[in-house]
């Protein structure tokens, strides 16, 4: 029964409701669905009378009820994206906590290991530049960097920061 009602009256009913809702297709489809659901729940209301006028009346009443309900509620406020962008997020706090934890882990390293990591990672120097700045051979910079990273990873794991 419902399928037959939809196939016979669904198109015109949707067009009518689209005009009532100002072209809001999602709302119009919801109204058509609710109208057909009410027709299915109350088959006795359809017997002995033309179906299309009853469907259009129910649909119109649903649109009017939705409009009245919307007016009775306070208006919804939009979210201003610029205001939200200016608020500190949890990412800022997380980054600060992570940087403190990394600083603590770096402080735990031996001075030669810490110096190599500071030169290569924080100052962005190449191995040759770090070797010149520290006054040690390039091969020593490479090996100290390797062992310093292992020690740093272990120190971060102890603090629950590294996987």
**Helix/strand/coil (H/E/C) assignment for every residue in 53-96:** HHHHHHHHHHHHHHHHHHHHCCCCCCCCHHHHHHCCCHHHHHHH
The CATH 1.10.1740 portion of the chain extends over 2-72
Predicted confidence at residue 162, as pLDDT, reads 65
Q: Give pTM, 2 decimals.
A: 0.45
User: Which tokens hold the place of 137?
Assistant: 């051979």
User: Which tokens hold the place of 56?
Assistant: 């259009």
Q: Determine whether 68 is exposed, middle or buried from the number of CB atoms within 10 Å of its CB (0-12, 13-18, 19+).
A: exposed
The CATH 1.10.10.10 portion of the chain extends over 92-158
> Rounded distance, CA 120 to CA 141, Å?
9
Instruction: State which fold the 92-158 domain adopts.
Output: Arc Repressor Mutant, subunit A (1.10.10)
pLDDT band at 140 (very low <50, low <70, confident <90, very high): very high
| Span 16-49, pLDDT tens digits | 999 998 888 999 999 999 998 888 888 887 777 7
Q: Which CATH code for domain 2-72?
A: 1.10.1740
pLDDT band at 141 (very low <50, low <70, confident <90, very high): very high
Name which of 123, 153, 66 is nearest 134 in CA terms.
123
User: Which tokens hold the place of 10?
Assistant: 């669904």
Residue 143: pLDDT over 90? yes
Could you report how far apart the first and last alpha carbons of the chain are, in Å?
Answer: 60
The enclosing H or E element of 142 equals helix 138-158
User: Which tokens hold the place of 12?
Assistant: 């015109």
pLDDT band at 76 (very low <50, low <70, confident <90, very high): low
Predicted confidence at residue 81, as pLDDT, reads 62
User: Which tokens hold the place of 9?
Assistant: 């009256």
The residue written with tokens 């072209």 in the block is: 23
């Amino acid at each position: 029964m419902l399928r037959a009602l939809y196939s016979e009256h669904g198109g015109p009913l949707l067009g009518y409701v689209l005009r009532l809702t100002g072209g809001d297709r999602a709302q119009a489809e919801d109204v058509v669905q609710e109208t057909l659901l009410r027709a299915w729940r109350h088959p006795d209301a359809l017997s002995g009378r033309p179906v299309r006028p009853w469907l259009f009346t129910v649909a119109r009443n649903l649109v009017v009820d939705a409009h009245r309900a919307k007016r009775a509620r306070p208006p919804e406020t939009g979210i201003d994206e610029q205001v939200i962008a200016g608020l500190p997020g949890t990412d800022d706090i997380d980054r600060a906590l992570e940087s403190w934890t990394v600083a603590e882990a770096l402080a735990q390293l031996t001075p030669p290991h810490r110096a190599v990591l500071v030169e290569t990672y924080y100052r962005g120097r190449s191995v040759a530049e770090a070797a010149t700045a520290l006054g040690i051979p390039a091969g020593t910079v490479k090996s100290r960097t390797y062992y310093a990273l292992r020690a740093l990873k272990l120190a971060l794991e102890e603090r629950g920061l590294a996987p």
